Amino acid sequence: MRHHGKSCRGAARGEREAQVSATGGQLRLGLVIAVLLLLLVNVSGLWSDTTAQRVYAVLQACTGIAVLIVGLAVASRLTGVARTWRLLVVATILCQTVGEAIWWFTRGGTGGTAAAPAIAAYFLAALLALVVLALLARIGIGGGHPHGLDRAARAVAAIDGVVAAISFAILAMLAGVGALTGVALPRSGSTTVVAAYSVLELMVVVAAVLIAMLYRPDRPYRTNFMLLAGGAVAIVTSDRLMAYLHTVGVERGDLWSFGLVLGPLLIAYAMLPTKPRPAQDPDRDAMYWAQLLLPYSGFFGTALLFAFHVLIGQQLNPFVVCGAVTMVSLVAVRQVIVMRAQSQLTQRLYDAQQRLAHQVHHDPLTGLPNRLLLSERLDAAIGRGPFVLIFVDLDDFKEVNDRFGHAGGDELLCLVGNRLRRCIGESDTLARIGGDEFAILIDGSHDPPDVIADRIRVALRDPFAIHGSSIRVRASMGLVRPNPDDPLPTSDDLLRQADVSMYAGKRVGKDTAVIYRPSLGVSTDFPTALRTAKGGIPDGFRLAYQPVVRLPDAVPVALEALARWTAPNGTEIQPDAFVAAAEAAGLGAMLDAMVLNLACREMCSAGINLVLHVNIGGARLGSIAFEQQVRRTLARCGMTPNQLVLEITETVPLLDLADAASQIARLNAIGVKVALDDFGAGYSSLTYLHSLPVQMIKLDRGLAVGPEPDRIETLYRSVVRLSDELGVDVIAEGIESAAQASTVYAAGCRLAQGHLFGQAAPIDALASLREVLSAR
């Protein structure tokens, strides 16, 4: 708390100081204006010439003394370089004042040249001024520019220096003979001495202007330097101006040289300590404006001087005119350079902005649009017309990374990107939205989604060459085509739907293309429903039973229990989808136990004396608890074990066949039979038949369809013969027509299942079903 109070007080004090310095600034400006007014009154002829001369001398002396006092007072409180440069300034002014004093007391009347010691003091003062400028230049521009000055900036600085030199030279040249009369520094009658001093003055002006232009805003003493440079330039030009006015015969010309009074005043201000200011709004930074206008002040001053010169009827000598023409040309060149640099900068800025915009909207690896740009295009497409959104996720991409390293993976992603781009139109968008995920927006297309999916699959079919190996890429796709009659979806909705469809496909297998329907999203809620039921029956869940019949008379010998679920929103969900969702959520065992229980209970209470087939996930074969569960359930319902057949449904390959075999053997030991479901499709293969002691196989319904019935018959016949020899029963699944039934029967198959014999139905409907069957 105390700390807080302290810092508050600190801040308040800082504010007060800032106010003081603000009022200080106003006071200083007021003083400048007051002195200026006094100088104007003094020159206006209100009092006698001698008095005016005295007033001018007093003012000059006062400002000079002010520099000495302020400089010494401030320097005494400081150390290091801050003290050094102030003391040097004090020394400069001291030299100058000493020179003036000597001249004042030794001169012969108004004007009058000065004695040698005075002239020496003037020279020393000018040299000291150069030393001060050099010292501050080292602080303000030395130590290396962060970016280095570019060519344009160097050229501009050089031109500024030359323009300053020319304008001062013009002034010095116009000053002419006046300079030799002693009214102007160094108050010598010798042309050589005056010329030498003028060169020193010129160096001061050029150095002041150049350093002021290059002084970096973040360096200390910037404001001090600007005031100092301003003061020095004011003194030096006023001095020449005085000589000029004398030459052209302007009355009281010396009184017009305000710079000799105001210059020291500025220098006195320059002595005051300033706080280094953080970068601020350039518009409010006086120094910024000073730097901006400075290069043109010499140019402007020369123009005024010329106008004055011509108006009072004076001639311009050819050197001066040449100098002026050169100066004008240089300023024009400077303008061109600055404008060119400006436009280059603008162009660079524009390019950088474009690059940034591209980076924001594109994937750095493939250069394809990213998710952000896709969403924007999707937003634009919504409501404009028909479109299809497709998510493409590469299957087993991780293996590519493992095998070829990330560089190989990256290369493959680029190649896949190129392939996909070739199979879409100009106006379509292909985006990379994640590691191995792409999205395609087909805009304005009336093609059905499955046709588009097929096109993509074909595009990816040819192998890709990575590091000298050829790789086949398969992809899972999720497709969305919004229904024009539904309320407009958002791009987020569509992206989620595409994602849901793609994952629904991934759960079932690889190389899938799933078109979005609302139930897909709901199926993932099944695990929640199952969990909430806590071992009971979830809402909307029930079983349907499909008969297994004997051939050729189609007498039912068994019933297969098939799960059904209506989601809370009323959508009927496909068993494949919700069973996979339960397995994925780790609730497969819970589902199977629940189905087993319910099926046994329903069969017993319906009083149907048929064998019961129940589907179980392959993963159940890894659990000892499952066998005990089966035993308990049978006992509870009073069923004999040989009334139960467990169908092993495969969603993932069985990992440990030996373990699975011993599980099956244990189930067999208690009298329960085991069937291999969907034999001939997916993972269920001859290896399983070879390793697992099953009593039954169910031939996948995919095998029962095909253009050549002879081939089908041959296939069934071989499997039946093989199974016979192994002592395994065969059930032909998916028999929908009498032709199929006779084919499989001819092949030796004695058991069948399919819509021809009856669809899955609730247990209550089975009594009538049995009547229908027995009537055939």
Q: How far is the CB of 513 from ligand C2E (least distance, A)?
A: 19
Comparing CB distances to ligand C2E, the nearer of 393 and 650 is 650
Count of alpha carbons within 13 Å of 628, Cβ hemisphere only?
3
Number of CB atoms found within 10 A of residue 55's CB: 17
Comparing CB distances to Ca ion, the nearer of 498 and 648 is 648
d(CA 647, CA 664): 11
d(CA 40, CA 173): 27
d(CA 444, CA 387): 5
Q: Is 684 in the site for Ca ion (CB under 5 A)?
A: no
Which tokens sit at 144?
Answer: 């290396």
Q: Is 650 in the site for Ca ion (CB under 5 A)?
A: no
Comparing CB distances to ligand C2E, the nearer of 449 and 617 is 617
Comparing CB distances to ligand C2E, the nearer of 72 and 508 is 508
- Asked whether 613 and 600 are in contact (CB, 8 A), the reply is no
Identify which range of 120-128, 391-399, 624-632, 645-653 contacts Ca ion by CB under 5 A.
Answer: 645-653
Identify which range of 158-166, 347-355, 494-502, 748-756 contacts ligand C2E by CB under 6 A.
Answer: 748-756
- Tracing tokens 């020319």 back to the chain, one arrives at 166
Smallest Cα–Cα separation from 703: which of 672, 728, 682?
682
Q: From the list Ca ion, ligand C2E, none, pick the one residue 616 interacts with, judged by a Cβ distance below 5 to 8 Å according to partner type.
A: ligand C2E
Comparing CB distances to Ca ion, the nearer of 100 and 733 is 733
- Asked whether 708 and 742 are in contact (CB, 8 A), the reply is no
- Asked whether 123 and 185 are in contact (CB, 8 A), the reply is no
Q: From the list ligand C2E, Ca ion, none, pick the one residue 132 interacts with, judged by a Cβ distance below 5 to 8 Å according to partner type.
A: none
Q: Is 755 in the site for ligand C2E (CB under 6 A)?
A: yes
Residue nearest to ligand C2E (CB): 754
Q: How far is the CB of 547 from ligand C2E (least distance, A)?
A: 10
> Binders of Ca ion: how many residues, by CB under 5 A?
5
Q: How far is the CB of 757 from ligand C2E (least distance, A)?
A: 8
Comparing CB distances to ligand C2E, the nearer of 209 and 562 is 562
Q: Is 615 in the site for Ca ion (CB under 5 A)?
A: yes
Measured torsion, CA atoms of residues 631, 634, 637, 639, in degrees rounded to the nearest 10: -150
Q: Is 443 in the site for Ca ion (CB under 5 A)?
A: no
* Helices and strands in the chain: count of H runs, count of E runs: 24, 16
Q: Is 576 in the site for ligand C2E (CB under 6 A)?
A: yes
Contacts with 730 (C-beta within 8 Å, 6 or more apart), sequence order: 696, 697, 698, 699, 716, 719, 720, 723, 749, 750, 751
**Choice from 393, 411, 437, 677 touching Ca ion (CB under 5 A):** 677
Q: How far is the CB of 584 from ligand C2E (least distance, A)?
A: 13
Smallest Cα–Cα separation from 618: which of 586, 573, 655, 672?
655
- Asked whether 202 and 172 are in contact (CB, 8 A), the reply is yes
d(CA 159, CA 334): 7
Comparing CB distances to Ca ion, the nearer of 443 and 647 is 647
Q: From the list ligand C2E, Ca ion, none, pick the one residue 576 interacts with, judged by a Cβ distance below 5 to 8 Å according to partner type.
A: ligand C2E
**Choice from 139, 164, 234, 579 touching ligand C2E (CB under 6 A):** 579
Site for ligand C2E in 240-259 (CB under 6 A): none
At residue 218, what is the residue type? Answer: D
- Asked whether 401 and 466 are in contact (CB, 8 A), the reply is no
Identify which range of 136-144, 146-154, 503-511, 614-622 contacts ligand C2E by CB under 6 A.
Answer: 614-622
Q: Is 730 in the site for ligand C2E (CB under 6 A)?
A: no
**Choice from 186, 409, 618, 734 touching ligand C2E (CB under 6 A):** 734
Q: Is 754 in the site for ligand C2E (CB under 6 A)?
A: yes
Identify which range of 100-108, 319-327, 609-617, 654-662 contacts ligand C2E by CB under 6 A.
Answer: 609-617
- Asked whether 376 and 384 are in contact (CB, 8 A), the reply is no
Site for ligand C2E in 654-683 (CB under 6 A): 677-678
Contacts with 581 (C-beta within 8 Å, 6 or more apart), sequence order: 507, 523, 524, 526, 527
Q: Is 592 in the site for Ca ion (CB under 5 A)?
A: no
Q: Is 597 in the site for ligand C2E (CB under 6 A)?
A: no
Orientation of helix 2-43 relative to helix 49-77, angle to 10°:
160
Comparing CB distances to ligand C2E, the nearer of 511 and 572 is 572
Q: Is 589 in the site for ligand C2E (CB under 6 A)?
A: no
- DSSP-derived 3-state class of residue 189: coil
At residue 403, what is the residue type? Answer: R
- Asked whether 479 and 393 are in contact (CB, 8 A), the reply is no
- Pairing state of beta strands 429-434 and 513-515? unpaired
Burial label, 420 (beta-carbon count in 10 A; 0-12, 13-18, 19+): buried
Q: Is 751 in the site for ligand C2E (CB under 6 A)?
A: no
Smallest Cα–Cα separation from 499: which of 547, 453, 437, 552?
437
Q: Is 645 in the site for ligand C2E (CB under 6 A)?
A: no
Q: Is 684 in the site for ligand C2E (CB under 6 A)?
A: no
Q: From the list ligand C2E, Ca ion, none, pick the one residue 602 interacts with, judged by a Cβ distance below 5 to 8 Å according to partner type.
A: none
Q: How far is the CB of 617 from ligand C2E (least distance, A)?
A: 5
d(CA 292, CA 600): 95
Comparing CB distances to ligand C2E, the nearer of 93 and 520 is 520
- Pairing state of beta strands 644-649 and 611-617? parallel
- Asked whether 756 and 729 are in contact (CB, 8 A), the reply is no
CA distances 644 to 53, 602, 629, 639, 748, Å, are: 130, 13, 13, 8, 24
Q: Is 616 in the site for ligand C2E (CB under 6 A)?
A: yes
Comparing CB distances to Ca ion, the nearer of 428 and 677 is 677
Contacts with 108 (C-beta within 8 Å, 6 or more apart), sequence order: none
Comparing CB distances to ligand C2E, the nearer of 157 and 616 is 616
> Binders of ligand C2E: how many residues, by CB under 6 A?
24
Identify which range of 167-175, 409-417, 530-538, 613-621 contacts Ca ion by CB under 5 A.
Answer: 613-621
Identify which range of 30-38, 92-100, 230-238, 730-738 contacts ligand C2E by CB under 6 A.
Answer: 730-738
Looking only at Cα atoms, what is the longest distance across the chain? 152
d(CA 762, CA 772): 15
- DSSP-derived 3-state class of residue 409: helix
Q: From the list Ca ion, ligand C2E, none, pick the one residue 406 interacts with, judged by a Cβ distance below 5 to 8 Å according to partner type.
A: none
**Choice from 302, 429, 546, 643 touching ligand C2E (CB under 6 A):** 546
Comparing CB distances to ligand C2E, the nearer of 86 and 701 is 701
Smallest Cα–Cα separation from 563: which of 578, 589, 548, 544?
544
Site for ligand C2E in 505-534 (CB under 6 A): none
Q: How far is the CB of 574 from ligand C2E (least distance, A)?
A: 6
Comparing CB distances to ligand C2E, the nearer of 379 and 736 is 736
Q: How far is the CB of 735 from ligand C2E (least distance, A)?
A: 6
Query: What distance lies between CA 408 and its chain's CA centroid?
Result: 26
Q: Is 583 in the site for Ca ion (CB under 5 A)?
A: no
Q: Is 678 in the site for Ca ion (CB under 5 A)?
A: yes
Q: Is 592 in the site for ligand C2E (CB under 6 A)?
A: yes
Site for Ca ion in 718-747 (CB under 5 A): 733
Counting every residue, how long is the chain?
Answer: 776
- Asked whether 391 and 502 are in contact (CB, 8 A), the reply is yes
Q: What values do phi and psi take at 539, rounded to 5? A: -60, 135
Binding site for Ca ion (CB under 5 A): 615, 647, 677-678, 733
Binding site for ligand C2E (CB under 6 A): 546, 562-563, 574-576, 579, 592, 595, 615-617, 647, 649, 677-678, 701, 734-736, 753-755, 760
